[in-house]
Amino acid sequence: MTTEVKSNQFTQEEVQSIIKQVLDEVIGLSPYNYNDSLNWNKQAVEQITKRLVALNRPYKYIVNSSLLQIGSGTGMNVSTISYWNKATDRE
């Protein structure tokens, strides 16, 4: 039995691909730096949201990102962005 995906549905692979592409472009292999992470997180959530909206699917979006330093450091940065159509979505 095959599972058919409707054109307005997301697949996990599609969303993961968008996220990976954006994180590779924004952060790449850069080591964690708290000051840089502020901008990285902002750029990442904005670009992920922009690319999801560009898919032209009938959804509202909330993109949440947490950047954590791996190892002995304690660095962390969190960012969230949401998107909806003001003309058709209720507040």
| pLDDT tens per residue across span 69-90 | 777 666 666 777 777 777 777 6
Listed in order, strand segments (DSSP E) in the chain are: 61-68, 76-83
Question: For residues 40 and 27, is the Cβ–Cβ distance under 8 A?
Answer: yes
Residue 6 lies in a domain: no
Secondary structure (3-state) at 22: helix
Task: Quote the Cα angle for 68-27-50, to 5°.
Answer: 100
Residue 5 lies in a domain: no
Could you tell me the CATH number of the domain that includes residue 35?
3.30.1140.40
**pLDDT at position 36 over 80:** yes
Which pLDDT score is estimated for 1? 47
Taking the C-alpha atoms of residue 63 and residue 53, their distance in angstroms, rounded to an integer, is 11
Residue 78 lies in a domain: yes
Which pLDDT score is estimated for 52? 93
